[in-house]
Amino acid sequence: MPELERIIRTEYSDLMQKSYIDYAMSVIVSRALPDARDGLKPVQRRTLYDMSELGIRSDRPYRKSARIVGDTMGKYHPHGDSSIYDCLVVMAQDFKKSLPLVDGHGNFGNIEGDGAAAMRYTEARLAPFTEDAFLADLDKDVVDFVPNFDETEKEPSVLPVKVPNFLINGSEGIAVGMATATPPHNLGEIIDAEIAYLDDPEISVRDLMRYVKGPDFPTGGIVVNADELPAVYATGTGKIRIRGRVEIEKGKGGHKNVVITEIPYTMIGAGIGKFLSDVAALSESKLTNDIVDITNQSSKEGIRIVIELKKDADAENFRNLLYKKTRLEDTFGVNMLAIRDGRPETLDLKSAIACSADFQYELARRKFTNLLSREQKRREIQEGLIKACNVIDLVIEIIRGSKDRAMSKDCLVNGNTEGIRFRSRESAVMAAQLLFTEAQADAILDMRLYKLSGLELQALIKEHEETVANIYYYEDILEQRESMTRVIVKELKDIRKKYAVPRRTEIVQAEEVVVKPREVAEEEVIFLMDRFGYARVVDTGTFERNQEAIYAEQRFVLRVKNTGRVCLFTEEGLLHTIRVSDLPSGKLRDKGVPVDNVSNFVSSKESIVFAASQSELNLYRLIFVTRNAMMKVVDGGEFDVSRRTVAATALGEGDTVLSVAVLTDQVNVILQSKKGMFLKFPVEQIPEKKKGAVGVRGMKLDAGDELEAVYYATALDSPTITWRDRPLSLGHLKLANRDGKGTKQR
């Protein structure tokens, strides 16, 4: 009979959920987040291990990066060559890593964002620091080895790193639903903190910060929120504010030069080009008129960006302007997330150091257990050889009297003398009492005759004494935690002495920069905004000469002061304000800038229904009408706010603002619904409310109906509209009261 199919029914949503969780955990654990023990992501660990296996050490010639990448991908990391090469490049860049783990030869990119050359052109080898602190004990069985992806090779589950690399070199990575961002730190400070923790495991984070002053970025710079660092290190999350280092020099002809010599860590790469563009934009947006020239004189020796200012410029104020308006002052968002015990966990400073310290104890335990076992085996053999030398004549007699090696070994180990020819009965009796171990017997049978010389015997006895001393030393380390701690501390001090460098980032508590406002003569200008959301200002003379074209092409045209603000009211009930000084001033045909760039308005999500000068709003009241026919009058003074965005009105669920109008000489209001209902009533029936109120109902709407238009009539004039292809005079509509159903117009 044919085999019956077995169908397992399951919910599709359950299957998708399980599959996504499996995928997410795979990315989190196996790709994006570092291990808290060695501070390495899997691709970094595999690349370094492969370089070690290939013998590409610091004292040997460089090897092609393509060779390293190909071998790593084929053996350990089957996720594409680009991820491996990118990892190799970053580990070789001294402007990204406090202590580079790879010694690169060739073009490995630069701090200004130029990428590395193709892997076939560059070469690399391990850095000495990596050999000493990451790979030194890999041959001593101190870490577990696991099968690779196709189970044809073995790879270490973690490298035996002797320092808290998670903190020293930092880490950045994006997983599924989480991300890690750990700033780099100074090697010497971190080692001092770990030694302090080893001496006192109860030490607090604040006491650890006596050693760890803060992050130490390879690009230098100045951390300016020192008071907030204790909270960052106590929680493992927070924000670090970094400023570039700026010097003011005398230039030619009495000019002043503002020179940037260090940049924030977050500006590495394309950020420098963006910074130069932002500085140029300061002049274009008229935030400053002091810039004469900008030159980027950076080289391999370091960063040097020179901004030449006018003779009478206030250089200090301009420096503050750079901090305020460009990324020369930036924020590094800290989230010290790492894999600990197989799970992602946010670590504070003490937890990160404790995790490294616990790992050091585990490495030391396995290392000295392995060394002890080796020394015990050596002692066993040495004692056997010394014993054999004392009865060498008997041993030779056993070997000469035996038929083969097996018979000799059986006699030496088990005392079996059967079949062996001895010179005397006493020799046979003595041979039966030797009882060597199997390892000793093999060593005796393999021993060469020159070992019987007096000097060789003395050397063997001295070697045995050293082995016994080593055994006592290793046993003391394994039995006494204090002894193991001393060994770990000594290794840490040796690494610090050899590789520690002075701190590069300054830690201070600085006040927020204040930019003195540029004195501008107040004058009237014309605010223009087209239907695409591009805004600008023109002078009144240009407006007077081109009024007809301006009104035809622009959606909003307002007379404003160049020192004032423009208010934009949106369908979503929000008020966005724009400083007129933030808008470009130019010719009539200039395009302007999107209002998104100078306010919190988001054109893809919001729609503007009304615009007005903020100064003029103080003189009037505004009428708000929503699509669900809610209405109110609000005093314009309530919109005299300094914040860029506030709520202009409260809205019911699903409701939006249809119209905002200035209340001047209007007598009647006419509401028109989509279904053709018209309601006309006096404006005085609309109550005045606060901007946070919803308002009152202006018209009863049928199910599925909403307001489509709002019209106003004055005492002298009523509008005439086109309704269904024919004119409709709204003055002929019957006057009713608010909250009526209105009349149907066919």
List active site positions.
121
Q: Three-state SS for 631?
A: strand
CA 48/CA 63 separation, integer angstroms: 13
The DSSP bridge partners found for residue 496 are none
Note whether 309 and 257 are within 8 A (CB): yes
- Of 167, 287, 295, nearest to 232 by C-alpha is 167
Tokens of 403: 């038929």
- Cα separations in angstroms, 321 against 199, 239, 258, 291: 47, 21, 12, 12
CA distance 88 to 71: 13
Residues linked to residue 396 through DSSP beta bridges, in sequence order: none
**Planar angle of CA 434, 438, 441, nearest 5 degrees:** 60
**Where would I find the H helices in 141-186?**
165-168
In 499-531, which positions are buried (b, 16+ CB within 10 angstroms) versus exposed (e)? bbeeeebbbeeeeebebeeeeeeeeebbbbbee
Asked if 291 and 283 touch (Cβ cutoff 8 Å), the reply is yes
For residue 68, which of 98, 44, 40 has the smallest C-alpha distance?
44
- Tokens in use for 554? 């622009």
**What is the DSSP secondary structure assignment for residue 115, as one 8-state letter?**
P
CB 560 within 8 A of CB 617: no
Euclidean distance between CA atoms 647 and 2, whole angstroms: 72
Which of 635, 730, 623, 734 has its CA nearest to residue 684? 623
- CA dist., res. 251 & res. 311, Å (int): 9
DSSP structural state of residue 252: G
Number of alpha carbons in the 13 Å side-chain half-sphere of residue 193: 30
